[in-house]
Amino acid sequence: MLTFLVTFIGVLLLYLLLVLGSGEPGGTLGIYFAVEEIVAGVVLSLLAAVVSRMLLGKGENDVIGKPANIVVKPAIFIVYLFPFIIAMAFANIDVAFRVITGKIRPGIVRIKPRLRTNLARTVLANSITLTPGTLTVDVDDRTGDFFIHWIFVKDTRTDQEKMREVCGGFPEWARRVAE
Amino acid sequence: MDGVIIAMIVLIAISSFFIALGCIGLHRFPDVYTRLHAATKTTTFGMIFFSAAVILFGLWRFFEADEVNKGAYLTLIGHTLVALILLLITNPTGAHAIARAARRSGIKPEQAVIDEFEEVEP
């Protein structure tokens, strides 16, 4: 039921963003929204929520369906955006540097972040792809190991050290956001 | 209002710089994985700046325009935001799908110093 509600609100918000500015001056909701668009949006969101109910929120690792997560997780996600965007800026300067100098030392490494939920793995994989010199190639669904293409491999001794070099604090953030 | 136009030009210049570097990287790097690095990171980052410029333009015109035309600029802002959110999700996912498909079909990373995927699936 909670998953249903969360999907409904999420889809409705996306729809409202799409029809923003559809109203007429002097209408019931001003220039922001037309009433017909809101009605259509509610109907379509309900439909989307009904259809996706069979796919989302299954299994014990479900993140959306827990009441405590509803407010906390999106808030943590917004906080997470700040270190993420800073890391992303550095990533781009790094790639720009490598494009200009052509200094590369590529390789595929394996890290073990030990994340349980699919959502957390998705967050981490996408974060890794968008940040310094790393690209997620594959994820082992059973053990949760990540295979990462690294554009400039540094020599490391332990697994822990390797994980720090590859993705910094992102596994902890992914755990906070989606577990 | 010249300040807004200068800010927009700066934003578009930054985005063009990164996207141009991405295109150069696409030609300079040796294999599919390193090329993906150049193609995904720079285009995503460049598009953030480009969207920021469009949103800035929309906001500026929104406050300047007549009541009748305001709606069109709101629509512009909303659509740009949706495009940006979708791009941020789909760009790394697409890169991941291409890299995974390439590795599973047996393309080895060139000049590689280490390949720990080899142990799992040669």
ipTM of the complex: 0.77
Residue A144: exposed, middle, or buried by beta-carbon count in 10 A (0-12, 13-18, 19+)?
A: middle
Q: Which residues of B touch A24 (CB under 8 A)?
A: 71
Rg (CA), chain B: 20
Q: Is the pLDDT of residue A156 over 80?
A: no
Q: Does B112 sit within 8 Å of A108, measured CB to CB?
A: yes
Q: Is the pLDDT of residue A50 over 70?
A: yes
Say if B55 is an interface residue toward chain A (CB within 8 Å).
no
Say if A109 is an interface residue toward chain B (CB within 8 Å).
yes
Q: Is the pLDDT of residue B39 over 80?
A: yes
Q: Does A130 sit within 8 Å of B40, measured CB to CB?
A: yes
| CA of B7 vs chain A CAs: smallest distance (Å) | 19
pLDDT at residue B1 in the model: 64
**Confidence label for B121 from pLDDT (cuts 50, 70 and 90):** low
What is the tally of helices (H) and strands (E) in chain A? 6, 3
Say if B86 is an interface residue toward chain A (CB within 8 Å).
no
pLDDT at residue B53 in the model: 93
pLDDT at residue A101 in the model: 83
pLDDT at residue A57 in the model: 61
Q: Please name the member of A25, A95, A109 whose beta carbon is closest to the beta carbon of B25.
A: A95
pLDDT at residue A61 in the model: 57
Q: Is the pLDDT of residue A70 over 80?
A: no
pLDDT at residue A85 in the model: 85
> Mean per-residue pLDDT for B1-25?
89
Closest CA to B31 of B120, B118, B121, B106: B106
> What are the pLDDT digits (tens) for A109-124?
888 887 877 778 888 8
End-to-end Cα separation, chain A, in angstroms? 20
